[in-house]
Each structure stands twice: as C-alpha cells, then as structure tokens.
Structure 1
Amino acid sequence: MPRQIMTVAEMTAADRAAAEAGTPTIVLMERAGRAAAEVIRERYARCPTVVWCGPGDNGGDGYVIARHLRRRGWPVRVEALAPPASPAAQWAAGRWKGETGPLVSEPGSAALYVDCLFGAGLSRPLDGEADRLARIMPGAARIVAVDVPSGLVGDTGRPLGERSLKAQLTVTFHRRKPAHVLAAGRAACGEVVVADIGLEEMGQGRLFENDPGLWAERFPWPAADAHKHARGRMMAVSGEAWNTGAARLAARGALRIGAGVVTVLSPPGALAVNASHLEAVMLAPFESEFDLQTRAEKADAVVIGPAAGVGEATMRHVFALARNGAALVVDADALTSFADDPAALFSALDRDDVLTPHPGEFERIFPGLLAASPERITAAREAARRAGAVVLLKGSDTVVAAPDGRAAVGLNGAPWLATAGAGDVLAGFIAGLIAQGMESFEAACAAAWIHAEAGAVHGPGLIAEDLPGLAPSVLRKLWEARER
C-alpha cells in the first residue's frame, strides 16, 4: 500500500476528525506517549533520562513518556519550559508524579534527552531556554525528538529561526511529514520511526513516500508468452563522436530494466564509436531532424539530452521527437538548451513526458522557483504544473511530481550515486519502464527507487557503468516480493 506523507494541516485535521468521532485528545496523547516510550526502550538501555516538556500538546506527550519510562524503572525527571497550557497537556502533567524542574540541562547532565518542547506546527523561532539548548547541545547528543526536533518546521524540514535541535531518533505518529523526508529535515531528525496511534485514513493523499508500495502492483513484468517487441521499444539520442558514452549508458539502463528493443540513434560521425561499444543495443544513424523523427517513429520512449550538446540543434531534435508521440525523457543538455526559452520546451511536452533536472538544470528552466518555494516538493509540483509533464528533481531526497499534483519523495538516496553518468542511467531506467507500458509518474518513481537501491547495493567505489548491471539484483528482490 502507498504510504502517504501528511502536512501539518492534514495531521491536525486527522486529530480533529478522531476527536469528532469520539476519541478524545487525551486518549490520542496517551497512545502517542506510550508508543514513544516503547520505541525508546527498544532503542536504548535504561539510563538517566531528562524529558523536556513545552507548554502545548507536544509537552503533554512528554509527561506521558516520562510516566511510562518511570513505570519501567527508568530514572526520569521532567524539565518544563513553561507550565502546561493546553487542557490535554494539563491532564498529562497531572498524572506525572515524578521530579519536575525548570529547563536547566547542560551537555552531559543526563545520558538521554527526550525533546517534547515544540511539535511540527511551530509558529515562531526558538527563544530563551529552548534556543539555549539548541545552541549548546552537541550534534552527538543522545536526543529523541517527539514529532520533530524542536525548532524545525514540519512542512519544510528547515528551522523557523536560526537553529533547531538535532536528534538521533525521531518518533512521529500515523504518517511522516515533509520534514521527515526532505534532506534538510532528515539530517536533523536522525532515524525516524512512525508509530500507529489508531488514526483513520483521511481520504486519498497526493504526497507519498517513494517505495514499492506506491508502484509495485503496476510494475511491467513480462507475461509468460512475452517477446521482445511486446516489451517495448526505447531509443536514446547520441551526441557527436566525442560525446557518445552518456547515450549508451541510458540505453544499457533501459535494456537492463526490461525494455525489449533498445536503439542508439547516432549522428553519422559517431557511428563507428558507438558501433565499437554496442552489443545487444542496436544502432541507427540520423543526419537531420527529419531523419531523427523518422527513425524514432516506432519508439515507445526516447531519451534525449545526455551529452547531446547544448544549442539549437538539440532544441530542433526535441521538437522533431515530440511530433512522433513517443514519451520523451528530457535530460541534461536538452534541458539546458532551452534555458533562454523554457516555454518553447513546455509547448512541445505532454503529460507522458518526463523532465529529469538536477538543481542547477532546474534553475535554468524554472528560474527562481526553488528559491521562492519553502521546500523542494512545492517547487517540483509547480514545475510539473508549468511544464505539463512529470518532473523528477534529483537529489538525496529525489522528488517526482506529476502535473495533476501527485508527488513522491525518495527515502533511499545513496551518496555513491554522486558520480558522473549516474543520471544518464536513471534516464534510461525511466524510459525503459515507460516503453514497457508503465505510466510515466509511476515509471519515474520506480526508476528512481531502483536506481538508489542499486547504488546502495554497490556502495563505495560505484561508477555509472556499474549501475545497469546492479539493476537485476534489485529487480529479483521485487519479483520475489511479488511472489510471496
């Protein structure tokens, strides 16, 4: 099943709906505090613990956590930033019978700290003693945050002011929020555990974690009677003789992901170079944009951009391919070629096409959008809306967005993928899945996840040439999971 990511407002609505359906806030608070205490006990040995409690419901969770830990024999004290102000927090504080004092922690004053000062809906920067803690507590401190580390905004993953606390472990409830999945927030949250507190689903979401639960049911496994032409035709446009490797990487990626027939479309001057490196991948020449359009007439998906060259010729090639109706995966040089006229690119696209920019390329075709948006999800969604196509914004928290508002964020980014050519293989994975009939948004999500898993399988020393050969082991695991 797809795992939804919920905004702060959506979580607030879910809490409100539970209360209206007969589950009081104090019951949800008790469930949340008990669940967080259980996670703490699973992760850490019994030790002197300080629970920092704020005045709101997040602080109320803290009083419940302290009570459950103390009941299990943990030496616990509460340090309160202010008296409990919400009715539920007052109820929770009233049931806590242990030591309570002011917020006076220093580094090393306890073995474990539980941060229940402020939750994801923080409306002002940290100040006073809360800001002091964020300033003095070392990054290596053993801090468990409840909901999010205090000072972090739940919808952006960034501090509201100058700083936030940083946690080793964050326990949140029901669903992750954007702060738990975006790179900046993940760095502050540490490990994230999602605890079930019995909330009901709130309709169909539009933002998801990118994992197989989102797309595995529609992955294009071949039928028992499949043949190569039934598994889709993918093509990749090569650059000139001195820039041919990137298109071959895309082509090999498409072949490994399952496309039945893969062809590199090559300028005449690059035919000999490409021919000397290709085996199962086919090769076809083109001299003009008309030739390119003709050669690609039977393609189901085409990658254009990897080392294609920046300039008018690549722009013309994009327009020629767009006239065929095949799904386009527009990458690298094909994006940069439209930096002076992004609207011209958008005019050639439809909802089945995929743009795959890294942040620099994103800025060229969507100038100012990343800077203007509070986080990458909003930027990618707006970009998809403007382009009328799927947008995959690369990064350790790769975001895939569709023109209809769907979006997914990757949680399995691997640092080893920061190597030249890795993006070319990703473009080939996407096009290979689209060629096999997978819907473009889901194909981009699946390709990004498989790409990251392949990077993690290899680990240190990865180069782009390794990635296509790593895909089969990831695909086998997906196949075996399907069979269970």
Structure 2
Amino acid sequence: MCRVLFLFLQCSINFMFYKGHNIVKNQNTDLVLLTPLQMQIVDKAAAKTIPVKQLMENAGWAVTQEILKRYKPCSVLILCGPGNNGGDGYVVARLLAKAGWPVCVGAIGKPKAGSDAEYAARQWCGKTVENLEAYVEKASLVVDAIFGAGLTSNLDCRIADLLRKAKRVIAVDIPSGIDGETGQIKGYAPYAELTVSFFRAKPGHYLLPGREHMGVLVIKDISILTNTIFTIDIKYWLNEPGLWEIPRAEIEDYKYRRGAVSIIGGSQMTGAARLSAHAALNMGAGLVHILPLGNNEIYSNFSACLIVDNDPLEDVIQDKRRKVWVCGPGLSIKEVRRTLPILIAAGKKVIADAGVFQTDQIDMLKGTSIITPHMGEFKRVFGEIIEDKVSAARQAAVKTGAVVVLKGADTLIVAPDGRVAINQHASARLATAGSGDTLTGIIATLLASGMPEWESACAAVWMHGEAGYLCDHSWPNAEMLANNLGKARDNAKIIKKIDN
C-alpha cells in the first residue's frame, strides 16, 4: 500500500510546475541547488512524514555505503559536531564499527539535550577519544561531520588546526569551513577526497573556491520526497541539459526561422567578429551577417556562408527579421559608442561583449539582452566585489536589466529576476584567445532561434564547454572549439533524451 502511494505521488508531481519559473518536475528538479537555509526548510517539511532520527539514520547509512564502496577497512576517526551533521557522523561510526572497521569518535562540542543529534550520540557505544590531535595524525581516514553547509562564521582556529593534520578526509554534507551558498572559505577548509551530501546539492558544492575542496561529490537519496522543493522559491540550478532544451529542426524551417545573427565588425581587430561569425555558422544559424565599420574586404574573403553588409547601420536595422545583434568583439570604445545606442534604440536583442566593457558607464549597457564579461571586465564596469560574486552578478543584472554571463571556471548565468545557473561543464581548454568571441556567437545563434535570454545563455555556456571536451588535444584554439559546435549541440540533445 505504501509503495503504491509513493508511486502515485511521484507520478502526480511529474505534472506539476513551479510557480515562479516553470520547472517541470521530470525535466530538471535534479538540477535544483538548495541553499543551506532552503535545505533546512526541506528538512522540516520532510520531518512531518519521516522522523528526523530516521533521516539521520538514512544519511549516515548513505555515507557509510560510499565509504565501504571506495575504501578498504582501515582506522577511522569521526569528528562529530554538536548539530545534525554530527548526528550523521555518530551513525556512520556505529555502522562502520558494525562492519568490523576500527572506529573512534572525537566529539567537537556536545549535542543539545533532547535533540536528535544527542539521540544518535547515545547510540554510539564505541570508543570516544579526547586527545584529538594525536588520533587525527594516526587515523587513516578522518570523517568530517563537524558543521556542514550552514556555517556562516570563520572556522575556529583549533578545529582548523585539527583538520590540517588529517591525512585523508571524507566530508559529510560539505567540508567544514565552506559556505554552502557562496562556496567561500571561512578561514580554512580541508580538501576532502569524498563529499557525501543529501537530496540536492548546494551552490557551494559547485562554486569556486569551495568546489576544489569537494573531491568526489556524491548526492544521496535519503527518502525525502521531491515535491518538498515546490514549497521553496528556487533560485539556483546546476547548468546541464534538462535545465533548457534546444529547438529541434522542423520540416518547415527556413533560414530566418532558424535565426539570423548580425555582428558588428571592428575596423582594426577584425578577428574577433569573424570568430563570433564562425561559431554562429557552426552552431547552425540560418543566416550570419557582419556589418563592418571599416574596410569590408577582409570580412568578404572570410567565408562564402557569410553575408557582409555594405549599407549603413541606420539602414540595416530597418530589417525586422534581423532581431539579434552582437556588439563588442574587436570594437574600440569609440566604435561601441557609435553603434550600441543605435541597436538598443531600435529594440534589437543585443549580446554585449569585450569592447563594451572598456568603460565603467553602466548606463550604456541598459537595454542590452545579455552581457558576457570575464571577471576583470566585470570589475572594470561594476567595481570590486564586496560580498560574493553571485550577489555582485545579481546586482549587475538588476542594474542593466540584462542576463549576466560572468565567465570563469565556474561561469555564472544570472537573470535580472535572480535566477542563477552555475556551470561546471568546462575545462582549461577554453582558456585561449577568441574563446569568449566564440561563446558570443553561440549565444546569439540560440537567441535568434527563439530561446529566451537566460536559457540561451545557459545552453551556450554548456555547449561551449562541451566543444572544448570534444577537441582532440588539450590546447585547442578558438577555431578548433567552433568546429566542434555541431557535435556539441547534438550531444546536448542526446543527454537531454537520456535524462528523460
């Protein structure tokens, strides 16, 4: 009976939609990232049907299974904090000892009387040690079950010194010392070999510098129902296929339906606009134009598939079919000031990159659809980051009204309404001149095909990373990246189909 009821609930929620952002349940709820505060809300909701003691038991069992799967029996010290994270640790200790492993516990603080963590601690009948420094150095494995993702202040120096002495660390939820929402290090955090968290990952699992401390990240099911997500205003997602869907080729498609991409070509640095055009062509744009601001000969000789405009911008923008424009790659600030206001005034969808970030005039970006700065360009325009990069990118999105693609090893895609996608699908292969121009061409193609701004940017960032992974060697140039975009687009569709 219970099993039938569970299946009914699971089937029912497949047809539910999230009120704010149309999250289809069977498409992308696995990509939802929960802040520590939101996870507390989920835990409270889950506790209405499953006792916290049982959830704690499930979490400890999940961690134990991952340890048994990956390690041979060895001496283990489990450091348990005073809260529920520590309660999970006491369960791990009991289950590992039951499996025959030599286990001892180090208590970092005493659980609150009558709490579920205290109940878990009372179930531990094995060895609890006092001289933690000596045991940390001797233990083959140290399980960090001290604080988890909710830590907001710097890690106590004594605890930090203790964790520094550990040879190999396994973290429960997240390594102690990492902010679960921002990924920032609060004083110190150990580098774990394995991190086991529960139900859904948190932003801090994927945001740098915290991401580098996770080791292998495993998210385990502990019997919390998925529909608890629907009580929360979700703002964070992991950027993967399923968060977005690329338009399919239809039998009645034609070039303007597939999308026309128009690019402003600089008079001096002509390579940037050509790289954007090369990317758009390889991504499957129906039509690609470059409007040169200088001699058009170098653009005319670039590709037979490219149309080079000879008319002035004021005349060209009258074509209502050409809705999407790229402005910035290879442009001087003078060229930006000459062209960007015209495009915005004409109501075009503008992807702004490179040359537009040569000034701190934020007002110039208002009216653009998507802006794509790297961190140096972002600081030049918006100033130094005071809090964390997610907060800064959100503020920039609100100020400009544009989707912000803050490029880096953990690229953020941030919408003016606060939605944030965190991209981990990238490698150092993207660290080459012209890579950003290539990304701009990808975004423009998807936007021209009819995808919304945020989804276009998310999908483009993922496929940009996929193009890097598809390169034959680790040191590609931007043209090599662009040559892989057709396959990268196909792979995004394949992964989406498998997920469903």
Aligned twin of 2:261: 234
In the aligned structure 1, how far is the partner of 2:144 from the partner of 2:360?
Answer: 48
Amino acid at match of 1:441: W
2:329 paired residue among 306, 310, 321: 306
Aligned twin of 1:96: 124
Residue 292 of structure 1: CA displacement? 5.4
Aligned twin of 1:252: 278
In the aligned structure 2, how far is the partner of 1:27 from the partner of 1:15?
Answer: 12
Aligned twin of 1:449: 462
In the aligned structure 2, how far is the partner of 1:429 from the partner of 1:185?
Answer: 29
Whether 2:93 is the aligned partner of 1:50: answer no
1:118 paired residue among 147, 150, 170: 147
Cα deviation per residue 1:21-43 (whole Å; 9 max; x = unaligned)? 23222111111111111122222
SS of the counterpart of 1:172?
strand
Residue 233 of structure 1: CA displacement? 0.5
Cα deviation per residue 1:279-328 (whole Å; 9 max; x = unaligned)? 212211355x524535x6531311110111123x3122001112332211
Residue 330 of structure 1: CA displacement? 0.2
SS of the counterpart of 2:484?
helix
In the aligned structure 2, how far is the partner of 1:398 from the partner of 1:436?
Answer: 23
Structure 2 vs 1, CA of residues 367 and 482 (structure 1 numbering), >3 Å: closer, same or farther? closer
After superposition, where does 1:4-403 map in structure 2 within 5 Å? 4-19=32-47, 21-85=48-112, 87-102=115-130, 103-105=132-134, 108-127=137-156, 129-137=158-166, 141-160=167-186, 162-200=187-225, 201-203=228-230, 204-216=233-245, 219-240=246-267, 242-269=268-295, 271-287=296-312, 289-291=313-315, 293-294=317-318, 297-311=320-334, 313-336=335-358, 339-346=359-366, 348-349=367-368, 353-368=369-384, 371-373=385-387, 375-403=388-416
SS of the counterpart of 2:405?
strand
Identical residues among aligned pairs (%): 38
Contact 2:258–2:449, Cα closer than 8 Å, also in 1: yes
SS of the counterpart of 1:104?
helix
SS of the counterpart of 1:83?
coil
SS of the counterpart of 2:343?
helix
In the aligned structure 2, how far is the partner of 1:480 from the partner of 1:173?
Answer: 27
Query: With structure 1 as the length reference, what TM-score do the two structures score?
Result: 0.91
Amino acid at match of 2:445: G
Residue 119 of structure 1: CA displacement? 1.4
2:434 paired residue among 411, 421, 426: 421
SS of the counterpart of 1:183?
coil
Structure 2 vs 1, CA of residues 89 and 66 (structure 1 numbering), >3 Å: closer, same or farther? same
Cα deviation per residue 1:417-454 (whole Å; 9 max; x = unaligned)? 11110000000000000001011100000000110111
Higher mean alpha-carbon deviation, 461-470 vs 430-439, is at 461-470
In the aligned structure 2, how far is the partner of 1:105 from the partner of 1:451?
Answer: 48
SS of the counterpart of 1:264?
strand
Residue 99 of structure 1: CA displacement? 1.7
In the aligned structure 1, how far is the partner of 2:459 from the partner of 2:441?
Answer: 12
Cα deviation per residue 1:223-258 (whole Å; 9 max; x = unaligned)? 023222221100111111x41111111111112222
Amino acid at match of 2:156: D
SS of the counterpart of 1:386?
helix
Aligned twin of 2:3: none
Query: With structure 2 as the length reference, what TM-score do the two structures score?
Result: 0.88
Amino acid at match of 1:476: D
Cα deviation per residue 1:198-218 (whole Å; 9 max; x = unaligned)? 2232325121111012002xx
Residue 378 of structure 1: CA displacement? 1.7
Aligned twin of 2:479: 465
Amino acid at match of 2:376: G
In the aligned structure 1, how far is the partner of 2:470 from the partner of 2:413?
Answer: 22
Cα deviation per residue 1:36-63 (whole Å; 9 max; x = unaligned)? 1112222222222221111221111111
In the aligned structure 2, how far is the partner of 1:299 from the partner of 1:476?
Answer: 25
Q: Which runs of 5+ in 1 are unaligned?
A: none
Structure 2 vs 1, CA of residues 292 and 361 (structure 1 numbering), >3 Å: closer, same or farther? farther
Residue 135 of structure 1: CA displacement? 3.6
Amino acid at match of 1:163: Y
Amino acid at match of 2:95: H
SS of the counterpart of 1:114?
strand
In the aligned structure 1, how far is the partner of 2:490 from the partner of 2:289?
Answer: 25
Residue 108 of structure 1: CA displacement? 4.9
Q: Which runs of 5+ in 2 are unaligned?
A: 1-26
SS of the counterpart of 2:153?
coil
Contact 2:397–2:416, Cα closer than 8 Å, also in 1: yes
Aligned twin of 1:480: 494
In the aligned structure 1, how far is the partner of 2:99 from the partner of 2:470?
Answer: 40
